[in-house]
Amino acid sequence: MLQRPAGPVVIIVTLAAAAVSVHARQPAARSPGIDVTFTREARTEPVTGMVYVAVSRVNQRTPIEQAGPTGVPLFSIYVEAFVPGAVAAFGTAERGHPIAALRDLPAGEYWMQPFVNVYTRFPR
């Protein structure tokens, strides 16, 4: 879903029955950013791992299906004890590929898809 208010650009994508959402933010005179959060319905336990956001201008396939070495941009951020309702904030320093930083993403309208790689700890 794409919403275009009169002020800053806001993109809201909802997955898994409103369980995960991503919001693009770009307030006046600030760097671009993406906020990812999840609900208790998606997972009740805290998450430690990597949160990813795939970004595409095309809605023919999901953004994740378009990611690859020369595909659509994919950004990531490490989270530890990430709880429902908390925000994983992607700023200009978060790594991406094939675009190195979020600030290098050209202005425009995008479809965004977040996902999480949950790490499992194994005690010795």
pTM of the predicted protein model? 0.73
Report yes or no on 84 lying in a domain. Answer: yes
Mean pLDDT by 10 residues, the chain (124 residues): 35 40 56 89 94 94 92 94 94 88 89 94 86
3-state SS string for the chain: CEECCCCCCEEEEEECCCCEEEEEECCCCCCCEEEEEECCCCCCCCEEEEEEEEEECCCCCCHHHHECCCCECEEEEEEEEECCCCCEEECCCCCEECCCCHHHCCCCCCEEEEEEEECCCCCC
Report yes or no on 120 lying in a domain. Answer: no
Q: Tokens 């675009």 belong to which residue?
A: 99
Report yes or no on 118 lying in a domain. Answer: no
The whole domain housing 6 covers 2-113
Report yes or no on 86 lying in a domain. Answer: yes
Q: How many whole angstroms from its chain centre is CA 122?
A: 27
Give me the number of domains the chain comprises.
1
pLDDT at res. 20? 58
Report yes or no on 69 lying in a domain. Answer: yes
pLDDT at res. 16? 36
